[in-house]
Amino acid sequence: MLTRREFIKRSAALTAASFVGMNLPFQLDKAFAETEADKWVRGTCRLCGTGCRVDLGLKNGKPVVIRGVADSRTNLGYLCMKGMLFYKVMGHSDRLKRPLYRAQKTEKFKEISWDQALDIAAKAFAKAIQTHGNDSVAYYGSGQAQTEETYLFQKVFRAGLRTNNVEGNPRLCMASAAAGYMTSFGADEPIGGYSNIEKARCFFIIGSNMAEAHPVVFRRVMRRKLDNPKEVTVINVDPRISPTSRIADMHVQFRPGTDLALLNAMAHVIIEEKLYDEAFIKDYAVFKKQGEKGPENVDFEAYKAFSADYTPEKASKICGGNVTPDLIRKVARAFAQSGATVSMWTMGLNQRLHGVWANNLVHNLHILTGQLCKPGADSLSLTGQPNACGGVREAGGLCHLLPGHRLVENEKHRSRLEELWGVPAGRIPPKPGLHTVAMFQAVNEGKVKAIWINCTSPAQSLPNMEPYRKGLAREDVFVMVSDIFPTRTTELANLILPAAFHFEKTGVYGCTERRSQLTPKAVNPPGEAKPEVWMVREWALRLAKELNDPVIAKCVEPFVGLKEDYDLPKAIWTEYSQKITADQDNDLRGATYEVLAKMPDGVQWPAPTEEFALKGGTVTKFLRGADPMADKEAKDDKPYQFYGRPDRKLYVWLRPYKPAAEEPDAEYPVYLSTGRIIDHWHTSSMTGRIPELMRANPYAFVEINPKDAQKMGIAPNDMVEVESRRGKCVLPAKVYEGPIEGMVFVYWHDMAEERMINKVTKDAFDAISKEPEFKICACRIRRLSGPQALKPFVVTM
């Protein structure tokens, strides 16, 4: 573990950049206004994928405080600063309150009525379809939309508008994790969950600064470590030393992208020292390599021969940093011999050219050592967004997915859905739609003529964003955005639809650990803001008339006339959970609104009956006696039934080390990586408007290793230009022994024109998952000036 002194040494020495104005002293000890709520409403946190349960406190009908729910199995009562403060978004003066429209993007917006807005939206999409075909329209959604919303959007687009151009921002964060689970375990989403944290004896944290990105999960890991300092080992694997490193026994710092070699070398040690679980491998594993025509079976001996090449000596040379052969051996032994290792990762593995491979290589270690389905052992991908799992991965929110963990390209899956929805056979097109990068490239090329962007800001969050901003600015592309605040994307819209926020509408979020949780409406949305489910229903009805296509109306027919506060989302959830997930691996039939309202912390699927759901659902997937699907699908007497595949096997993949899409060279000699910080969420459209959070991190910094800073004459807070082949930013420097030498790290939340780092990142993407490689590209940096007075910035109307 880093000592306090060591950690302070690593911390940046921040000084005020300059002094602007002078304030009189302020009084302390003002009353805490948020006390004495007169009503509490239970729901889920709006921000990250942890799934913290919260009680929203109201006073005279207005939100005044948020508290954690102590008997919730996700957060045990704890909240981070974002979780405790997001109620300030409600009632904020910047909220979008009325529909806004402009025919040309160069014009000013004008307020219009909902009637006008829905007519304009329906006519624009109808015109695109009639003139350019069904694939000229698209939906781009969010892992922050509720499940009811994503489900209804995709139903209307696929079965109504007959296009699979249904995508969402989880493509940018979780697609590699989903594909990793599918290719390794045959089924998406983690086998276990957070309950293993308190039973684990080793934590393998790779590519995740969970102390900032998942603070409450980190707090559980921290407590486990601090309470059991000798029994529990924490290994942090990251090119950047971060706040997560504070609890680490071993920090493995390597050259970006070389973790593929490191993970293979760990497997090498596990085999060489016979630390693998032979019986588990014999019963449950097969070995696979990617052949020219698809996956090919190989045997254990072939895998041994493959990993024999990744000696710790060879890997340490590839990895650089502090990675020695001895450190690799120590890490591999700690991982294999604990008997209860939990691996956790996020974007460091996922946002990569070989993100799926990186996921496979972590799963390999768990399969080899038999550390799955056992107490304290799990290969646990931490989800970034609150409903990327529940809404997007489970309810069909990506171009290749259909709801209930089904696939577009599977004819039986399509037919089953058409039958369940009561639409004509063949209504869902057989070809997957455009994935995120392809979708926005199609916008650039004018092939997509009308796009609905919901609850996300691709104009800031796409990698290599400038060409995509130009595409969205085209006058021949109708851009419709539903959101709660102005963003970089609303700046490029024709039509802005004001949306209700969390707790201003009712719906379900499904977090990292297969857990679905209900958040009911507690307060009215401001002005004329509406829940998205209402928008989709009303728009679809008008579109059906415009296109003279009753099947579009059929998609929303079960929901016509229902009140949007509760009855409408409940009816959508009922259709989804009772019909669509029935007998699927994410069976949610037991998780009715009534059951979810009773549970302090929701339900983990599979949960086929209410009786089972009321006990919390399935804590460990595939485990007989714990997972009803494992009992039902059992083919033999073995305790684990990996029913994701007919052969009931887990796949150990032979995945070689390959470099990133763009490695540093003479012209651009520095690695650039980007990430989040604790006080801000994504593009800061919400957190940037909460004074406490904005002040804590008012602008993006570029973190530079002190050795690099010295070489380039950069002092703390100097203004530094970060430039790649695609674009450049100018940011203040944080000189910090965090990033490895030769790498800089930039926070991506900042909306200021000169500090949006996605102008610099690269849009190369994983061949399997189509997830872009945000985490690695080549750049060059130079000092522009000494400290400058900077102002925090958020987009306003």
Partner 1 sequence: MYLFNKNQGILLATFIMLFLSFLAVTAEAKREATKKDTHPMVTEQDKLMPCHECHKTSTPRVYQEWFESVHGIGNVKCYQCHGTFENMQRVPDVNRCAVCHAEAFDHSENKPCWQCHKAHRFQVSK
Which residues here bind partner 1, judged by CB under 8 A? 4, 7-8, 14-35, 65-68, 70, 77-81, 84, 211-212, 215, 218-219, 222-223, 226-227, 243, 246-247, 678-679, 691-692, 695-696, 698, 789-790, 792
3-state SS, residue 71: coil
Q: For residues 764 and 659, what is the distance between their CA atoms, to the nearest angstrom?
A: 13
Of 537, 531, 576, nearest in space to 557 by CA: 537
Q: Please report the DSSP string for 527-566 in residue order.
A: TT-B-HHHHHHHHHHHHHHHTT-HHHHHHHGGGTT--TTT
Which among 48, 80, 347, 465 is annotated as catalytic? 347
Of 576, 615, 475, 344, nearest in space to 628 by CA: 615
In terms of CB distance, is 243 or 639 closer to partner 1?
Answer: 243
Report which DSSP code applies to 740.
P
Q: For residues 259 and 321, what is the distance between their CA atoms, to the nearest angstrom?
A: 12
Which among 52, 90, 174, 319 is annotated as catalytic? 174
Closest distance between partner 1 and the C-beta of residue 223, in Å?
A: 7
Element (H, E) at 612: helix 610-613
Q: Are 104 and 475 in contact (CB under 8 A)?
A: yes
Q: What is the distance between the terminal CA atoms of the chain, rounded to a whole angstrom?
A: 47
Closest distance between partner 1 and the C-beta of residue 226, in Å?
A: 7
Closest distance between partner 1 and the C-beta of residue 35, in Å?
A: 5
Which among 207, 321, 384, 617 is annotated as catalytic? 384
Assign residue 137 a region (left: φ > 0; alpha: ψ between -120 and 50; beta: otherwise).
beta
Annotate 725-742 with b (16+ C-beta within 10 A) or e (fewer).
ebbbbbbbbbbbbbbbbb
In terms of CB distance, is 149 or 718 closer to partner 1?
Answer: 718
In terms of CB distance, is 129 or 222 closer to partner 1?
Answer: 222
In terms of CB distance, is 78 or 254 closer to partner 1?
Answer: 78
Runs of H (alpha helix) within 156-199 = 175-185
Annotate 82-120 with b (16+ C-beta within 10 A) or e (fewer).
bbbbbbbbbeeebbbebbbbeeebeeebeebebeebbeb
In terms of CB distance, is 8 or 560 closer to partner 1?
Answer: 8
In terms of CB distance, is 57 or 569 closer to partner 1?
Answer: 57
Three-state SS string over 418-481 comes to HHHHCCCCCCCCCCCCCCHHHHHHHHHCCCCCEEEEECCCHHHHCCCHHHHHHHHCCCCCEEEE
Q: Is 626 exposed, middle or buried (0-12, 13-18, 19+ CB in 10 A)?
A: middle
Q: Would you call 347 a catalytic residue per the annotation?
A: yes
In terms of CB distance, is 216 or 462 closer to partner 1?
Answer: 216
Using the structure block, give the residue that is written with the tokens 């994983």.
766
Q: Would you call 384 a catalytic residue per the annotation?
A: yes
Q: Would you call 385 a catalytic residue per the annotation?
A: yes
In terms of CB distance, is 21 or 625 closer to partner 1?
Answer: 21
Q: For residues 37 and 467, what is the distance between their CA atoms, to the nearest angstrom?
A: 48
Closest distance between partner 1 and the C-beta of residue 509, in Å?
A: 20
Report which DSSP code applies to 491.
G
Closest distance between partner 1 and the C-beta of residue 452, in Å?
A: 37
Which among 146, 253, 385, 584 is annotated as catalytic? 385
Q: For residues 541 and 515, what is the distance between their CA atoms, to the nearest angstrom?
A: 33
CA angle (651, 196, 279) in 5-degree steps = 40
In terms of CB distance, is 70 or 308 closer to partner 1?
Answer: 70
Reading the block at residue 553, the tokens are: 């109306």
Closest distance between partner 1 and the C-beta of residue 228, in Å?
A: 11
3-state SS, residue 211: helix
Closest distance between partner 1 and the C-beta of residue 706, in Å?
A: 18
3-state SS, residue 348: helix
Reading the block at residue 162, the tokens are: 């007959």
Closest distance between partner 1 and the C-beta of residue 15, in Å?
A: 8
Reading the block at residue 758, the tokens are: 């996605």
Closest distance between partner 1 and the C-beta of residue 234, in Å?
A: 12
Which among 48, 80, 90, 173 is annotated as catalytic? 173
Report which DSSP code applies to 246.
G
In terms of CB distance, is 250 or 626 closer to partner 1?
Answer: 250
In terms of CB distance, is 227 or 296 closer to partner 1?
Answer: 227
Closest distance between partner 1 and the C-beta of residue 484, in Å?
A: 22
Closest distance between partner 1 and the C-beta of residue 79, in Å?
A: 6
Closest distance between partner 1 and the C-beta of residue 84, in Å?
A: 5
Peptide bond into 170 cis (omega under 30): no
Determine phi and psi for 600, rounding to 5 degrees. -70, -25
Element (H, E) at 66: strand 62-68
Q: For residues 709 and 688, what is the distance between their CA atoms, to the nearest angstrom?
A: 29
Q: Would you call 82 a catalytic residue per the annotation?
A: yes
In terms of CB distance, is 222 or 543 closer to partner 1?
Answer: 222
Q: For residues 741 and 757, what is the distance between their CA atoms, to the nearest angstrom?
A: 20
Of 278, 361, 376, 432, nearest in space to 620 by CA: 376
Active site residues: 82, 173-174, 347, 384-385
